[in-house]
Amino acid sequence: MALKVLVVDDSGFFRRRVTDIINADANLEVIGVAENGLQAIELNESLKPDVITMDYEMPVMDGITAVRKIMASRPVPVLMFSSLTFEGARVTLDALDAGAVDFLPKNFDAIARNSASIRKLLAEKIQAVARGSLKANAKAVQPAPTRVTQTPSGSSADEGPREKLRGIELVVIGTSTGGPAALQKIFKTLPSNFNKPIVIVQHMPASFTSAFAERLNNLSGLTVKEAQEGDVLRPGHVYVAPGGKQLIVDRRQGGSVHILDSDERVSYRPSVDIALASAAKHYGSKALGVVLTGMGADGREGARLLKQAGGHLWAQDEASCVIYGMPMAVVNAGLVDSVVSLDQVSERLSKDI
């Protein structure tokens, strides 16, 4: 059965193009369109779509207000369309806070061309968010699942008493879809006296990562910034990999960050694989990788190198993930030392290392 989609945008041209693109996929069907947030709320109740695509700037009611009201009444995965500007990044982050699952750049030229790449990306995003955790995005309060750890084969077992990870000098966190909300939850509660440097690799466009770093810095007791070439890795500081680039770490001379132009053949810019591979090379057993919610398998090969170098790896559990893709990839590869609920990540970081 095709996934039912509600398209919300005040531009008639954009609604028509997005509708045509979605309906071209046999697995998707547009069952309604809305011109503003108020109509979206009403049609969400009457048509009961599986997914909503949502614009931000609309008359009568904007997209963020609509998302909040939808999550409070009939929660459904929402995919936002966003402009690739600093202000657009802030608005998109607000929408993700309100409960939207993911976003796509609002590119009129690309939509007008109706290219194969746009069709593929939009279809993949819609199907991915449809599989997402509505409970997490509706801000529902759920009891924390029992924490587990992985045996070498990748099977899970009751965790029991934990041995602290001694000598960790660097934490690398990788994430994609669902990551902004997950990271905000972690850094709101991570103690201000946490004394290890943290590198974040979040799949985001170039114009988004500085706004995201600013947001994390405002809510965290730690110092958070968008990483720049030559940054020294300082205890209690957090470095967000810039969008469109690649970040690597170097332990020499006290530890530093290097920012590189990305090869177009690399799918993710920034890439969790590349950051973890550099941590494996320079930090080895003194590095901890944490793979959070996200589509795809970015991080699996970097995690493999990290484990071969004696490093440590945690993965977010399925129950608390928006998209159980990246964590599942490392769990199924047998690379994970511990599977951790999102609610427990900051506690584990502060107490176990």
The residues that are catalytic are 176, 203, 298
- Which residue stretches of the chain are H helix? 12-23, 37-47, 63-73, 86-98, 108-113, 116-130, 134-137, 179-189, 209-219, 272-282, 300-308, 326-332, 345-352
What does the alpha-carbon distance between residue 90 and residue 199 come to, in Å, rounded to a whole number? 21
75 alpha carbon, distance to own chain's centre: 19
* 231, two tokens: 């940054």
Side chain identity at residue 2, one-letter code:
A
Residues contacting residue 94 through CB under 8 Å, at least 6 positions apart: 64
User: Contact 251/287 with Cβ under 8 angstroms?
Assistant: no
- How many Cβ atoms are within 10 Å of 187's Cβ, its own excluded? 23
User: Contact 262/269 with Cβ under 8 angstroms?
Assistant: yes
- The closest of 225, 229, 234 to 187, measured between CA atoms, is 225
Integer angstrom CA distances of residue 39 from 29, 44, 70, 81: 19, 8, 11, 17
What does the alpha-carbon distance between residue 172 and residue 237 come to, in Å, rounded to a whole number? 12
